[in-house]
Amino acid sequence: MKRLPHLVAAAAALLVTLMAAVAYSSYAGSVEQKYVHAVAALDHADISGGSALERTALRQDDLLLIYGASELMLLDTKYEATRFFSTYPTGFMVFNAATKGGSALSIVQRLAALGADLRGRRVILAVGPAIMTMAPFGDVAERHYDGNFSELHALELAYSPYLSMQTKQLAAARMLDFPETLKDQRFLTFTLRNLTGNSLGARILYYLSWPLGRLQLGIMHVQDQYATVTFIHHLSAAQVKVTRQPQQIDWPALVKTAQAEQIRQTDTNPYGVDNSQWPKIKELFAKPLPVGSRDADFINDVTIAREWSDLDITLRAVRELGAEAIIMSIPMNVPLWERIGVSRKAQNTYYSILHSVAAPYDLPVIDMKQYGDVKYFSMDLASHASRKGWIYVDRTLDKIYHGILP
Amino acid sequence: MWIGLWIRSIMEFFHSPWGHVLLLSLYYSAIIVGLVLLYGKGQFTATNFVYQGF
């Protein structure tokens, strides 16, 4: 000690810091456990870049986690799952981790961040046809990817000990396709480049950076927990109150009520498109096209969509992480697509590819194709669930939770 | 009088090997606390963007 006072002192300071971090983490864990059901019913976008609460939600038997995109986020309605199930009418509640502009590439990073906690846990992967059928090259828009990007999730994927090198390389190559998102992320960019590099040097650099990456993640986990606890502490007493009220749900009656409400929101057009979405797409309906006239373009667009390969990477990760995932697709809006020249047969291309992508992973797929003809299910071409659509989605989730589906 | 003795004993302690290490530990701890206060918060809020749909 006499010879190395600085070393001993620095080690002591680091030890105290480590003990403080462990103690805080334990405290934060108890706060998260206490309030996770309350937060599930609230908009938690303020902490959506973290994983602490999702990790806690995974451990709750009465919470069903959903990952997805705007199909399950856009409409502000009391029928949206987190509001509909907020009183645990049938014994469970939904923890909705779907995000506006979400994509398979964002989801795989979110899932990778949960690591071993996912093993054996049931999660819903909500897939929608919007990106595959409407986005240029079927690829997620850069602004959407950027809006959902989390450094924590990305680093977790890059340094995941639970994912194979090949899966990490595939994901890293795609992440590098969005350079704007990475422009302030030098360490992450360095890691992703080394991950995708084929040279021995790149591989050595990746493994040399591993301890630094894990250290960074250790710090970020504590930061994530701090952000989560701060978020919870800012909630009011009314917000953290959880009410459990078992009740029988009359689904057919709810469908009728929701349809009546939805019809009132579609009075600007004869196609059943929600008034909020109609101005965005009305030009497409200025001159309705003969059914089938746009089939070739549609089939080509859907077939080459990059989102499929991203979904494939996500499913690889799901398998390697050991999650019991259920793929739930929101249906195509069949009558609306027919109005703009795409036949039902051509629309089925979406379902065919979805099943063929999922098949190698032996995961159950609930494609909800039977609802494609139900008027007012979707509120637009992009299959965003309407009020009525939400009732069908809620019922499907209820059946999944109670083991009736798949 | 007793205050002087007290201060002297503290000074002697800090000049001892154990006291020196304790002082250094406090110094390093203060640096870590400073770093945590400066950079420790983290950013986990989703970036603000206007979802424009398709």
Residues of B in contact with A380 (CB under 8 A): 53
* Residue A187: burial class (beta carbons within 10 Å; 0-12, 13-18, 19+): middle
Per-residue pLDDT of A282-300, as tens digits, reads 999 998 889 999 999 999 9
Residue A248 structure tokens: 């029988």
Residues 1-54 of B with CB under 8 A from A: 17-18, 20-25, 27-29, 31-32, 40-49, 51-54
pLDDT of residue A73: 81
Per-residue pLDDT of A303-339, as tens digits, reads 999 999 999 999 999 999 999 999 999 999 999 999 9
How far is Cα of residue A198 from the mean position of the Cα atoms in its chain?
A: 31
Q: Tell me the mean pLDDT in the region A400-406.
A: 95
Residues of B in contact with A48 (CB under 8 A): 44-46
- Global confidence as pTM: 0.93
What are the φ and ψ backbone dihedral angles of A121, each rounded to 5 degrees? Answer: -95, 145
Q: Tell me the mean pLDDT in the region A169-194.
A: 97
Q: Which of A3, A17, A229 to mutate to test the interface with B (most CBs of B within 10 A)?
A: A17
Per-residue pLDDT of A20-75, as tens digits, reads 999 999 999 999 999 999 999 999 989 999 999 999 999 999 999 999 988 888 88
Handedness of CA A71, A73, A76, A77 (dihedral sign): positive
pLDDT of residue A288: 80
- Candidates A101, A135, A151; nearest CB to B49: A101
Per-residue pLDDT of A203-255, as tens digits, reads 999 999 999 999 999 999 999 999 999 999 999 999 999 999 999 999 999 99
Query: Of A249, A243, A244, A245, whose CA–CA distance to A396 is shortest?
Result: A249
Q: Tell me the mean pLDDT in the region A5-28.
A: 95
pLDDT of residue A139: 96
Instruction: Please provide the average confidence, as pLDDT, over all residues in chain A.
Output: 95
Residues 267-286 of A with CB under 8 A from B: 277, 280
pLDDT of residue A384: 93
Residues 351-390 of A with CB under 8 A from B: 380-382, 384
pLDDT > 80? residue B35 = yes
pLDDT of residue B49: 64
DSSP A137: G
Looking at this predicted complex, what is its ipTM? 0.81
pLDDT of residue A50: 96
pLDDT of residue A1: 59
